[in-house]
Chains A and B, each alone.
Chain A
Amino acid sequence: MTIGTQDWNLTQIAAHIRRGRVDAANLPALAQAVKDEGGQLVALWGSDDRFVNNSRDSDSRSSPRPQAGEGPGVRDAGYAIHIACITAAGLVWISAALPETEPAYPDLSAIFPQADRMQRATFDLLGIRAAGAVDTRKWLRHKAWNEDEFPLRSDFVARVASSESPLATCHKPLAEVDGYAFIRVEGDGVHEIPVGPIHAGTIEPGHFRFSIIGDRVLKLEQRLGYTHQGVEKRFVGMDLAAGAKLAGRVSGDSHVAFAWAYCMAVEQATLSAVPDRAAWLRALFLEIERVANHLGDLGYMGNDVALSFGFMQFWRLKEDWLRLTAKLFGHRYLFDRIVPGGVAVDLDEAGRKALRAASKRIEAEVRDLKVIYDEHATLQDRFVNTGVCKPALAARLGLTGLAGRASAQAWDARAQFPQAPYDTLDVAMATARKGDVQARSEVRFAEVFESMRLLRALLKGLPAGAIQAPLNPAAGVREGIGWVEGWRGEVIVALRIAEDGRLDRVHPHDPSWQNWPLLEVGILGNIVPDFPLINKSFNLSYSGQDL
């Protein structure tokens, strides 16, 4: 496929997904071509390819170009850097092999600023350097491992964990100070407010450093990585079924999106087909998850402008929704209902009717509440022109997903690059242009209504048949990538299965990676008391990006 003027030898590996390999030196040219066409970089990660196949001199390295699902990461047996870009033709997964000693690739953050934190995390975890990058500070590493240790390398030896005394791990004194070099704002009357990692509300941990004059924010700098649990390392050596459970727990509020993306990748890698009914049920689950999260967020946005009425009403609806989900599928958040090869739970006729009735009732109630939100003067006063991310800036910095669509970044994989069953549903994308809290609230309302329509269409057209099919046995090293439009934005899971049929490398990507830096920009010029509202209107995942 051609991007820009050059043909990059991309192979189609699934609907709207292409795979290619380039020399690391050509990555900036490729990235620039993607950018010039209006595309975005959505994920960047690395892999340690030295011991794939458990052998350094496997003779099965002859195929010149990868076939669908085949994992040729072994050919160059050093490290590799991978990027996933969204282009006019869909998702493109590009890999570049890197040498075993001093692995480095050219910096991409000058072209795509959203690459910055991903590049730093890749160095922290794998020791692969972005040559020429301006910002080389640590990101996911705090003080649990040293600068010269790289947890995702296969020869990494954890200094922790003695089986007889687990406490020894944690009683080993850590340096008190993280030693992170925040960028300071200086001048008359500037002062700093450090917030977190333990916040005042029930939210995830992270550190925010505000530099302010009076109440106005001059700069916000985030320090994340606090919930780094070593998820990517845990995947190594897992069997394929267990991997789905772990993938779903990368960010609990996006369980369905991650589990589906993971299973899509596994099925692609093993060339396995999923029964139609299973694909439709997966989409049903995804829309249920989207509705649940949007209801919760709309409630909290009301709460953050002191309209506790909004919180109580939306959380009443959300609770009804969750309880029905639990009744029909056995779990309030559908945990572990998506498994490799299909889904674990079916829906009967009575359940179909109940879900259809609930979707109609809740949609009608949300329409009532939208009228109240639209007409409520103090709510509008707080929502409008607060936390603005203008479209041009959103495009430059790669704002994505729901927040992106509220700033005129019109990408929605369900609408533009639909996987089954979305290819038959004609999804209407919700967008807004102003990029303020109000716009993000409007997009949520519109998406609730559209999801309710999709739910009913899915219930109506639900094909008969099996809900699960056995996976084909994986032969040799296999690769796959899954791509699902979760409620927050596009969720990507790229993985490689080793010859023994177990997971060798899994990279789950949450859209929060791209969107966190935009929150730093969105708050500028606003007053500190509006920060909780702006933050909630983005509602980004900490654990999804901390991994």
Chain B
Amino acid sequence: MATHLLLQKIFKTGIVSEPAPAPDLSLRTRDQELHADILKVFGQAISIRHVDAGSCNGCEQEIHALGGPHYNIEGLGVKFAASPRHVDVLLVTGPVSRNLETALKRTYDATPEPKWVVAMGDCAGGCGMAGAMFGENYASCGKIANVIPVDVEVPGCPPTPTALLAGILAAVSGGR
């Protein structure tokens, strides 16, 4: 029976979670209204829907990493949800491939207001080396802001989980 081994491992491992990074407000691309009201409504908890709009899956690796024990995102009130209808934040990766353009727009439309969009990575923000490499072409619309409005852009190829978390918190934290 594995239970005692499992418990042994849990106690031996202890708690590896780390304190959260401060919101990085410099990542904001536009002023957000309504903050005070929204924070009253939501408290500090938010739900996120991840949308891969055509990424190379590098950014996805870091989103997965964010779910691990070091980052303790659910403890911070951040939760990934399965449907855009249940969320406050869309976390979008990749340059938008033309084959996903409609799906991305529909996902955006399905997300209830008020909502924020975080564009994750150089391709999504159209910056840096990867952003330049994955610009627009016959198959790609380029950065996320070319297709839907974006609130925060988190640069990096891929951005580290800490940078991503700082960006997510910037999207929804109070203070301007």
B30 within 8 A of A: no
Total residue contacts A-B, CB cutoff 8 A:
194
CB nearest neighbor in A for B57: A252
A315 to B61, CA, bound (A): 11
CB nearest neighbor in A for B1: A375
Q: Are B98 and A204 in contact (CB under 8 A)?
A: no
Question: Could you say which of A204, A245, A251 contacts B133, with CB atoms under 8 Å apart?
Answer: A245
* Chain B residues in 8 Å Cβ range of A319: 65, 68-70
Contact indicator per residue, chain A 183-227, by CB within 8 Å of chain B (1) or not (0): 000000000000001101111110000000000000000000111
A203 to B67, CA, bound (A): 13
Q: If the complex has contacts A158-B138, A176-B102, are A253 and B57 also in contact, measured as CB distance less than 8 A?
A: yes
A316 within 8 A of B: yes
A201 to B62, CA, bound (A): 14
* Chain B residues in 8 Å Cβ range of A300: 64
B47 within 8 A of A: no
A174 to B64, CA, bound (A): 32
CB nearest neighbor in A for B48: A202
Q: Are B58 and A252 in contact (CB under 8 A)?
A: yes
Interface of B is mostly: mixed
B167 within 8 A of A: no
CB nearest neighbor in A for B129: A245
Chain A contact residues (Cβ within 8 angstroms of B): what range? 35 or more
Question: Could you say which of B56, B59, B140 contacts A251, with CB atoms under 8 Å apart?
Answer: B56
Q: Name A249-284 residues within 8 Å CB distance of B.
A: 249-253, 255
Binds B, one of A26-34, A69-77, A164-172, A492-500: A164-172
Q: Are A170 and B147 in contact (CB under 8 A)?
A: yes
A229 within 8 A of B: yes
Most buried by B among A198, A371, A543: A198
Q: If the complex has contacts A200-B83, A226-B54, A249-B133, are A309 and B6 also in contact, measured as CB distance less than 8 A?
A: yes
Contact indicator per residue, chain B 130-145, by CB within 8 Å of chain A (1) or not (0): 1001101111111000
Q: Are A202 and B50 in contact (CB under 8 A)?
A: yes
B24 within 8 A of A: no
Q: Are A227 and B97 in contact (CB under 8 A)?
A: yes
B99 within 8 A of A: yes
A318 to B80, CA, bound (A): 20
CB nearest neighbor in A for B65: A319
Contact indicator per residue, chain A 369-387, by CB within 8 Å of chain B (1) or not (0): 1011001110000000000
* Chain B residues in 8 Å Cβ range of A245: 129-130, 133
A315 to B141, CA, bound (A): 34
Q: Name B80-111 residues within 8 Å CB distance of A.
A: 80, 82-84, 94-103, 107
A543 to B13, CA, bound (A): 36
Q: Are A159 and B138 in contact (CB under 8 A)?
A: yes
Minimum CB–CB distance for B144 against chain A, Å:
11
A151 to B97, CA, bound (A): 15
A250 to B10, CA, bound (A): 37
A197 to B157, CA, bound (A): 24
Q: Are B9 and A372 in contact (CB under 8 A)?
A: yes
Q: Are B55 and A169 in contact (CB under 8 A)?
A: no
Question: Could you say which of B50, B51, B98, B158 contacts A333, with CB atoms under 8 Å apart?
Answer: B158
Most buried by A among B2, B57, B99, B139: B139
* Chain A residues in 8 Å Cβ range of B103: 197-198, 205, 226
Sample 7 A-B pairs with CB under 8 A, ordered by A number: A143-B98, A169-B141, A170-B146, A227-B97, A228-B54, A249-B56, A313-B9
Besides the known contacts A169-B136, A202-B50, 11 further A-B residue pairs in the complex with CB atoms under 8 A apart: A161-B136, A203-B60, A228-B97, A229-B137, A234-B134, A311-B67, A316-B16, A316-B68, A375-B2, A541-B57, A543-B55
A interface residue numbers (CB < 8 A to B): 142-145, 151, 156, 158-161, 166-167, 169-170, 174, 176, 197-198, 200-205, 225-230, 233-234, 242, 245-246, 249-253, 255, 296, 300, 309, 311-313, 315-316, 318-319, 322, 326, 332-333, 335, 368-369, 371-372, 375-377, 541-544, 546
B interface residue numbers (CB < 8 A to A): 1-2, 5-6, 9-10, 13, 16, 50-65, 67-70, 80, 82-84, 94-103, 107, 129-130, 133-134, 136-142, 146-147, 157-158, 160
